[in-house]
Amino acid sequence: MSLSAQLKIRSAQSNDALCLGALATQVFFDTYATSGINADLASEAKQNYSEEVFGRRLASSEVSIAVAEVGSNLAGFIDVQSNSICPVSSVFGPEVLRLYIQSPFQRRGLGQALLKHAEDGAQSQGEKAIWLTAWVGNARALAFYPQAGYEMVGTMEYIINGKTYENYVFSKRLHLRGA
Ligand SMILES: CC(C)(COP(=O)(O)OP(=O)(O)OC[C@H]1O[C@@H](n2cnc3c(N)ncnc32)[C@H](O)[C@@H]1OP(=O)(O)O)[C@@H](O)C(=O)NCCC(=O)NCCS
């Protein structure tokens, strides 16, 4: 059966928290721990990707998480925070906090499908723009977002355990429905 026949994009539920934590941990290390594990990366993953953290995010009215399910397994997710403040002061709207596709499913359209789902959700809430940050060394993300209509609008510093990592800020205008 083709991937598209098995793929379902749906809102995450509270009982997805365990698998979301595992998936996020795996994709985070695959993406950022390419020269081995250090304490910064290990503590970042431990703090952000536990079942408990995802359980709390799923219970929050400020958070929308959607998953890409292939068969009965999770292959990716998108996590959107509605009340984040963009470091580029002219940009307002929800933040795509994480878009993570498991490595065997990358480059098969899942990222694009999840991003569209999030953009449609934001648009239906009346949002005019959506934004995100991507590490300057994340080549896949830097290739992906511009082709999805995102424009680089600035930079920001992300700090892990006192060390600074430079990120680009990307945003996309959402067209008003019917306009
Ligand atoms: C970045 C990421 C979300 C992209 O998702 P994806 O499902 O692999 O991307 P898609 O298949 O939807 O790609 C759509 C288009 O984006 C571009 N693109 C995506 N990945 C690319 C890559 N590795 N190199 C070059 N272009 C790429 C291509 O134009 C692609 O279209 P094509 O395959 O028809 O050429 C995914 O690689 C990922 O999860 N990476 C690890 C986590 C991460 O870095 N997340 C983003 C943090 S900000």
pLDDT tens digits for 14-71? 999 999 999 999 999 999 999 999 999 999 999 999 999 999 999 999 999 999 999 9
27 ligand 1 Cβ < 6 A: yes
Question: What does the domain layout of the chain look like in residue ranges?
Answer: 3-128
108 ligand 1 Cβ < 6 A: yes
pLDDT for the residue 70: 96
Q: Is the pTM of this model over 0.75?
A: yes
Which residue CA neighbors atom 25 of ligand 1 most closely? Answer: 143
d(CA 138, CA 120): 25
3-128 placed in CATH 3.30.70.270: no
Q: What is the mean pLDDT of residues 73-84?
A: 97
pLDDT for the residue 177: 62
